[in-house]
Amino acid sequence: MPDQPADPQAAVLLRRRRLVDATALTPPVRRSAWHWLRRPLTIQAGLSALQADLIQRGLLLSVGLYRHCASLSAPALAGFGSALLDLLDAESGFDAKHTPLFRGFPESVPGDTETFYVNRVFARLLQEPEQPCVLCGDTTSVHAVSPCAHLVCRTCWDGSDFSACPLCLRRIDPKDPFLKPSPAEEPPAHVRSDRLRLLSLATADSVRQTVGALLARRAPLSAGDRADLQVLLDGASSAWIPDDIPVRETRALVIAHFLADDPELIDRADTATDVLRLVYALMDADPGLRTPPARRKSLPRATRRLVLERLDRLPVETLVEDMLRHERAWKRIGENLHPFEFATRFPVAALAFAVLRRTDLDLGTAAGRAVAGEASRHPLVRVESGRLVMSTFSSRVEGAFAQGRPELALDLLRQRPGELVRRLVHLARALPPEQHGELVDAVTTAVSDVSPAVITAALGQVRTPPGDLRLFFPRGGTARIWTAVDDRESLPTELAVELSGVLTGEMLRRATGLPRLRRVFLDEELSRIAAPGSERNASSSLLRMTRGSAVPIPQDELLRLFLHWVEPRGRRIDLDLSVAVFDEEWAFVGLCDYTRLRFDQDALVHSGDLTSAPGPDGSTEFVDIDLRAVRRVGGRYLLPVVFSYNDVPFDELERGFVGLLRQPSGLFDPAAVEDRFDLAGAAKILLPFGVDLRTKELRWYDVNLGAAGHGHNVARYGGHLGLMAATLEEVHGSGDRVSLWEICCWHAAARADEIAVRCADGSVVGYVRDPAEEPAAFARRVVARLEPDRSWDEDAAKRADLVAVLTGDLTPRAGAEVYALHPRLLDGANLSLIDAPYLLSGLAPDTRARESLGATSPAP
């Protein structure tokens, strides 16, 4: 029986929620399909084999899923198991053929990289056909390998260990006689119980719940989440669309998906920028507007009229202002929309494009007269040198700051609460002390209408004192960061405290309006996880954490990095996996890459440099890291980096990913995969994370560095890497930014009178609210982890309505809402497993969005 095609929606549910869509993965079985079985298969034997395969991948069947599998026929069970394992292997990277340069890695990696390099150079430059080997003098062992045709001595180079040409390090024909069988890999060891995670059976509402959770997000989705949403919407109905989709980029995707069936959905595009996002989505481009459409896709005439008609109904001032904010994009789109063709029908839209394009008014045409007549109705629009111009809101605000009149800027920003909170720190530094009270009053009034993501970002800025460096994440196709010297003045302490109180008080006020909870169980380790924010530039990965978050790592474990890529036909792409080591002061200590395969013997071991990755197998590089050995030689910070050596961007790969194995068993252990990043976008250098050996933390960076030219490596970029990582550690390690711990404490203090906290040492303590204690005071006690009111045990989680922990190694009560970064054996069928953005979305200003938080919650 042929393999069944993987169901995209089933893959999304499995990856995001560990839910198995059994209906989609179970193949239809006919009587004639039994012939493919080589021998009779009993259901019990098939279930045992499936369980064994899943355990080797770190997974178990839940009770409900096990019963479903037991009800299948033998052929259906075989097809279901095969489809399920294929999806799981594609997710972890186990489906790829991982063969490093040295197949005996790490034992067979040479200790002297320089000698290895010199021998390669001599053999490549001096070896002649039908001549003795230049290294050993053997006259019979030199033969050319295919397809590079380099002359390789079978005596000097071990064909049972190498997987590529030892001279150029490019992949060669697998059938080439040089390649000999390598010793069989040892069978995998027993999978540790703390790596097992439960697979649960999806229900009929699983897809709709997942769509609802993504649409309820209060921060922009990552590229991976947007792709998942598109897949889920293919099987969705327009009736699933909620009245409110808070993120405008997400809203544009949904409108574009259903616009052909329901043209009235375009009315949900509230601004010109919303319309632009919609047009980008219709052209299969990024609705975040970071990159233009790859190709100019022509829109149908009916769609163009629909877009122009929506623009025509917007207020002129906001329409023009929004269009000028994305001037280049609108000019490009205008060539597709042809607004002056419909000028008499949609004069407001034509007027906006005339201002945008600085078009000369031609009153001799119908379009010119229509635009001029419309302009005469709007006092903010004027004619200068035969062209239309307009003073926008943003220009007036910037003008007020430039003229040294911050009080005027404050008055203008009162009209737009979101902009006021975003510019809060700027205003606080610009206003004189006597007007600080007005600023606090303005923020107090405005904050009730502001998104929780904007509030948490502003709160972090208010609390963070100026440091040595500032960190910037500019908009763009990939997450690039820049640093600059921070020469700003500190905010007055009293003002910072007042503003923090206003912002925190608003979040507590919103949480108070949510359903009450009998008890909340929290994990102190959540303070390592950054509050959810914009994920636009986040790489697609297995763990979903905000950039800057950290997870603890045991000091005595072995980490194994892996890089796999497949190059397109006819294009050679040379990627390199490298690790840089820095000391306490961020001074460079050493490296492990293709120029140094071993650092301090076994502290860091590289599997060998592969310089090509032809399909279908591609290439894989590994680096083993012994954390104790690195610390012994004075290293504190480890920075793994992926370089595109020959300057080819990642988006030209057929496939590429980098990841981390923790204490693996075997060369590639799917049960030990801690996380995996997809290589995508126009980037050429990726810094996925950093390891701090003193604090025993692994912090997610997920940033790219700019690159140009050829020969990118650690030696060339070591200074940049150290600067970027040091700045990231300074910003995210200071504790001034809002963490997921703080968000959970806001929920707990405002909604419950009992809070159990699991401390870092494993003990559990309790905080009990006094009847006369205000939620703000209660929250301060818990956030700061002051003296607790009592001691508790792990059973406190069994009686909690909300549980938020780093690792789900406990047993919450059935029906409880549970956030767990590592869910382990938590059963999604009996619990409401939620994600971090959901916790923040519950604090939205729109009460309709918050009323959904209760006993039943949408899944992540």
What is the share, in percent, of the chain residues with pLDDT greater than 90?
52
Predicted local confidence at residue 286, as pLDDT? 86
Residue 685 pairs with which residues in a beta bridge?
A: 643
Q: 745 or 681, which is more confident?
A: 745
What average pLDDT does this structure show over 69-92? 90
For 513-547, b/e burial (b = at least 16 CB within 10 A) is ebeebebbbbbbbbbbbbbbbbbbbbbbbeebbbb
What average pLDDT does this structure show over 355-384? 81
Predicted local confidence at residue 3, as pLDDT? 40
Helix (H, G, I), strand (E, B) or coil at 236: coil
Q: 199 or 849, which is more confident?
A: 199
Predicted local confidence at residue 151, as pLDDT? 94
What average pLDDT does this structure show over 605-620? 94
Residue 359 has pLDDT above 70, yes or no: yes
Same fold, 510-530+738-850 and 550-731: no
Q: Dig out the tokens for 7 from the structure.
A: 């169901």
- Residues whose CB falls within 8 Å of the CB of residue 694, separated by 6 or more in sequence, listed in order: 584, 636
Residue 687 has pLDDT above 60, yes or no: yes
| 600 phi-psi bin (left φ>0, alpha ψ -120 to 50, beta other) | left
Predicted local confidence at residue 624, as pLDDT? 96
Residue 762 has pLDDT above 90, yes or no: no
Residue 537 has pLDDT above 80, yes or no: no
Residue 35 has pLDDT above 60, yes or no: no
Cβ-contact 568, 652 below 8 angstroms: yes
Using pLDDT thresholds of 50, 70 and 90, give the confidence band for residue 857.
very low
Q: 429 or 546, which is more confident?
A: 429
Predicted local confidence at residue 595, as pLDDT? 93
What average pLDDT does this structure show over 681-687? 86
Residue 610 has pLDDT above 90, yes or no: yes
Predicted local confidence at residue 542, as pLDDT? 78
Helices then strands, counting H and E runs in the chain, come out as 28, 28
What average pLDDT does this structure show over 100-126? 93
Residue 225 has pLDDT above 50, yes or no: yes
Residue 32 has pLDDT above 60, yes or no: no
Nearest CA-CA partner of 515 in 850, 858, 859, 804: 850
Residue 640 has pLDDT above 80, yes or no: yes
Strand residues in 341-435 grouped as ranges (E): 381-384, 387-390
Helix (H, G, I), strand (E, B) or coil at 840: helix
Predicted local confidence at residue 471, as pLDDT? 73
- Residues whose CB falls within 8 Å of the CB of residue 38, separated by 6 or more in sequence, listed in order: none
What average pLDDT does this structure show over 265-286? 92
Residue 632 has pLDDT above 60, yes or no: yes
Using pLDDT thresholds of 50, 70 and 90, give the confidence band for residue 786.
very high
Predicted local confidence at residue 846, as pLDDT? 62
Residue 54 has pLDDT above 80, yes or no: yes
Q: Element (H or E) spanning 305, and its range?
A: helix 301-312
C-alpha to C-alpha distances, 254 to 209, 218, 261, nearest whole angstrom: 15, 15, 12
Q: Dig out the tokens for 269 from the structure.
A: 């595009």
Residue 363 has pLDDT above 50, yes or no: yes
Residue 509 has pLDDT above 60, yes or no: yes
Q: Cis ω on the peptide bond leading into residue 106 (within 30° of 0)? A: yes
Residue 34 has pLDDT above 60, yes or no: no
Name the residue type at position 58: G
- Nearest-angstrom CA–CA distance, 112 and 115: 6
What average pLDDT does this structure show over 365-378? 82
What burial class does residue 108 get, using C-beta atoms within 10 Å of its C-beta: 0-12 exposed, 13-18 middle, 19+ buried?
Answer: middle
What is the share, in percent, of the chain residues with pLDDT greater than 70?
93
- Residues whose CB falls within 8 Å of the CB of residue 824, separated by 6 or more in sequence, listed in order: 194, 196, 197, 198, 807, 808, 809
What average pLDDT does this structure show over 541-557? 81
Residues 243-268: tens digit of each pLDDT = 888 889 999 999 999 998 899 999 99
Predicted local confidence at residue 36, as pLDDT? 42
Residue 29 has pLDDT above 80, yes or no: no
| 781 phi-psi bin (left φ>0, alpha ψ -120 to 50, beta other) | alpha
Residue 735 has pLDDT above 90, yes or no: no
Predicted local confidence at residue 479, as pLDDT? 58
Predicted local confidence at residue 9, as pLDDT? 92
So where are the chain's domains? 8-98+191-201, 113-153, 206-357, 510-530+738-850, 550-731
- Nearest-angstrom CA–CA distance, 750 and 784: 16
What average pLDDT does this structure show over 547-569? 88
Least-confidence region, from 289-303, 344-358, 610-624: 289-303
Residues 457-503: tens digit of each pLDDT = 999 889 888 776 777 776 655 556 777 777 888 888 899 999 999 99
Using pLDDT thresholds of 50, 70 and 90, give the confidence band for residue 434.
very high
- Nearest-angstrom CA–CA distance, 747 and 803: 11
What average pLDDT does this structure show over 266-271? 92
Cβ-contact 651, 681 below 8 angstroms: yes
Nearest CA-CA partner of 315 in 352, 344, 343: 352
Using pLDDT thresholds of 50, 70 and 90, give the confidence band for residue 6.
low
Residue 859 has pLDDT above 80, yes or no: no
| 634 phi-psi bin (left φ>0, alpha ψ -120 to 50, beta other) | left
Predicted local confidence at residue 844, as pLDDT? 87
C-alpha to C-alpha distances, 292 to 285, 296, 507, nearest whole angstrom: 7, 9, 37
Least-confidence region, from 245-254, 308-317, 347-356, 361-370: 361-370
Residue 38 pairs with which residues in a beta bridge?
A: none
Using pLDDT thresholds of 50, 70 and 90, give the confidence band for residue 629.
very high
Using pLDDT thresholds of 50, 70 and 90, give the confidence band for residue 185.
low
**Which CATH architecture group holds 550-731?**
Sandwich (2.60)
DSSP string across 253-277: HHHHHHTTT-GGGGGG--SHHHHHH
- Nearest-angstrom CA–CA distance, 584 and 726: 10
Cβ-contact 369, 362 below 8 angstroms: no
Q: Dig out the tokens for 513 from the structure.
A: 């309006």
Residue 273 has pLDDT above 50, yes or no: yes
Residue 714 has pLDDT above 90, yes or no: no
Nearest CA-CA partner of 561 in 106, 194, 111, 224: 106
Residues 340-352: tens digit of each pLDDT = 888 888 999 988 8
Q: What is the CATH number of domain 510-530+738-850?
A: 3.40.50
- Nearest-angstrom CA–CA distance, 329 and 223: 20
Using pLDDT thresholds of 50, 70 and 90, give the confidence band for residue 379.
confident
